[in-house]
Copies of this chain bind each other. A is one copy, B any other.
């Protein structure tokens, strides 16, 4: 029975409030930090900078103000809420579809005119001028994209999927979903993809979808004072979580024209919490995107979209092809899967190393970031333009229906430097947009089109480019690079397997791409449905599934998925779905022991005490304990304390406030705002001696655990219910002790943090898995 001592200590800590001066408080604070091994790191890499991050709070804060406000809500208001939520889902879809259209249109036109000019130079045999133009255009486009990203919105760099994933898990990355990020992501994505860099617009589209959703949810941009106050209603973490989910699926749908895949992507990869109603509205958003894209394509069929071709929205339609395969075809399919898993995990490993290297370069300053991006652009231009000269010209096969050679914007069989009647197969793959390259390498019934050497050069080049391009400071996505690599090795394998099976080489390329996606990103259901919707052919489904299953299983043996690697690299405190097995052997009470003693407040508290507590702790929630028989009243949030101080809602004597006093001062909307810093609030000496009645602000129903609860179960509950704070209560009843043992946050429940404090626990059990 050693607990009572601990409690006595805590009680003293609380009781001594008011009698202490600041110096003593500071001392106590420094004493705390000795213990503060748990939950001390709230820093993560945001953009390229280390920043302070916050957790989100999905719990309904059931305080008096909420109950009062919510009690007053009429049926009409409830219907209005539902109606606005549907409207927002519609708008998210509409705007994401619109932006995706704009991006596709811009990229296709810019790249199209660029390639058309290059082809003209080549036709005139002015190869060097052609290169200068090609490299120069790419350089300028990259410069534009990188400049915007580096100087205006560093968070727009990279794919953004990891941050979205973290957001939906409950981690708020600052500046991630703002108006500046949205703008830079759109323009930067157009620039970077048009510059022919080895990256795609798919993940940026996902991020764009979430930015649109977030801006709609908070009623416009705070920073630029463009906001509609009636939308403030949705400015809370719970509703924003839903909106971000719609946004991410709309983005996937916009990227692949695959509405079902969009929903499944959100379910499988991004979302941590999920409800039936959420699927339902998410699906509505993606349906809207699909309709917008369809209308746009119909509109462009009349030729009014400039050089916009079919390649702009990758669609490898093989619905007309009758796919035949037999039991023996399982062997090559298994081989593709295994290689995909191996290559995928290897790629993850290499990318991890490259990203760490790039982090070192990025730390040196903005100019270094810019130079890095420009060097990669130059290298890419040299390879894209120079390597096709290495390929032998091939004679056109007149039996094919496609025009050969063709040097138009899109299409197979590029002539490049070859005489008439011949084509350059490597130029077909390299000197074109990425989407066209994918269409060409996926093309069916073109078994003899590509030479082995060309495919080898293609594959090796994209492996290198994939690794070095991803980390530069422009909006970038991994889907396209991985599809390019995967299709390269798939088609190579197809040539090698040709004597043994009848599967078309185009399908090998498709399967190769799928296997590498599963091997690197470890998504299965969503990738499968993306491919199903891209190929529009159900008969391919069983072999695609098999490939994905094998590739993912093989990849999982070596390392986690690329998005998880990025999460870890950035230091985002993501809570995984399953607790580590050794977490069963430690109780939350033991965690509370290694944390600084819990800081509690009283129901009616002195202003001085509140200011001190806010100054000397960084906690975001404080249990309120009061009464002769000490009773847990609930939890009060830091933001609400700051709000009280800011509004100077002080009382001269120690008394309870009336309902009307509260109503006068606060609304539900005020409580949803986030006030940032205690330093910005001035409290006079006289005010310090006044009181605050915290009761109307207390969340009377915080989630709790008993101290004997195992950390594993506490973590599951924490994640499932979507909490920010979890109060630990004692397991026994005794007079004079606090009814609160401690408070748990996201950081306390992360395996890596716990194993730092209890190293023996993790090592003794680390080899054991299951459950």
Contacts and interface: CB of A to CB of B under 8 A. Distances in A.
A283 interface: yes
Contacts of A263: 525
B524 A283 contact: yes
A701 B717 CA distance: 12
Interface in A300-354: 319-320
A733 B630 contact: yes
Interface in A718-742: 720-721, 729-739
B770 A542 contact: no
Nearest to A705: B704
Given A524-B280, A770-B82, A717 B732 contact: no
A533 B767 CA distance: 43
Interface in A8-60: 59-60
B294 A542 contact: yes
Nearest to A272: B276
Nearest to A259: B541
A541 B290 contact: yes
Interface in A688-710: 700-701, 703-706, 708-710
Interface in A50-73: 59-60, 62, 67, 70, 73
Given A294-B542, A768-B73, A733 B735 contact: yes
A632 interface: yes
A545 B713 contact: no
B733 A738 contact: yes
A706 B729 contact: yes
B319 A525 contact: no
Contact of A732 (B279, B291, B629, B709): B629
A77 interface: yes
A633 B733 CA distance: 12
Nearest to A631: B732
A723 to B, nearest CB: 10
A663 B629 CA distance: 44
Contacts of A524: 279-280, 283
A268 to B, nearest CB: 6
B283 A267 contact: no
Interface string A574-607: 0001000000110100000000000000000000
A56 B166 CA distance: 32
Nearest to A80: B770
A82 B294 CA distance: 44
Contacts of A536: 319, 536, 538
B704 A706 contact: yes
Contacts of A585: 67
A287 B541 contact: yes
Contact of A701 (B283, B290, B709): B709
A628 to B, nearest CB: 9
A75 interface: yes
A697 to B, nearest CB: 16
A284 interface: yes
A78 B735 contact: no
A277 B523 CA distance: 11
A118 interface: no
A576 B770 CA distance: 30
Given A275-B577, A287-B546, A708 B541 contact: no
Given A75-B767, A525-B280, A713 B701 contact: yes
A631 to B, nearest CB: 4
Nearest to A280: B524
Given A263-B525, A542-B287, A732-B630, A277 B769 contact: no
A269 B62 CA distance: 30
A529 interface: yes
A279 B267 contact: yes
Contacts of A274: 274
A744 interface: no
Contacts of A770: 70, 73, 77-78, 81-82
Contacts of A703: 705, 709, 713, 717
Contacts of A294: 539, 542
A751 interface: no
Contact of A62 (B268, B280, B704, B713): B713
Interface string A501-540: 0000000000000000000000011001100110010110
Contacts of A320: 320
Contact of A739 (B60, B546, B733): B733
Nearest to A7: B733
A400 interface: no
Contacts of A708: 632-634, 700-701
Give the residue among A268, A627, A729, A767 with the most B Cβ atoms within 10 A: A729
Given A280-B524, A733-B739, A767-B75, A717 B721 contact: yes
A218 to B, nearest CB: 19
Given A267-B279, A701-B709, A721-B721, 15 more contacts: A62-B584, A75-B768, A274-B274, A284-B545, A284-B549, A287-B545, A290-B541, A319-B536, A629-B734, A701-B710, A704-B704, A706-B729, A729-B729, A734-B735, A735-B735
Interface of A: 1, 59-60, 62, 67, 70, 73-75, 77-78, 81-82, 259-260, 263-264, 267-269, 274-277, 279-280, 283-284, 287, 290-291, 294, 319-320, 524-525, 528-529, 532-533, 536, 538-539, 541-542, 545-546, 549, 552, 577, 584-585, 587, 627, 629-634, 700-701, 703-706, 708-710, 713, 716-717, 720-721, 729-739, 767-771
22 contacts: A70-B584, A70-B771, A75-B767, A75-B768, A78-B769, A82-B770, A260-B260, A260-B528, A260-B532, A260-B541, A279-B524, A283-B524, A287-B545, A290-B541, A319-B319, A629-B734, A630-B732, A631-B733, A634-B708, A703-B713, A703-B717, A704-B706
Which 4 A-B residue pairings sit nearest by Cβ, starting from the closest?
A78-B770, A631-B732, A735-B735, A287-B545
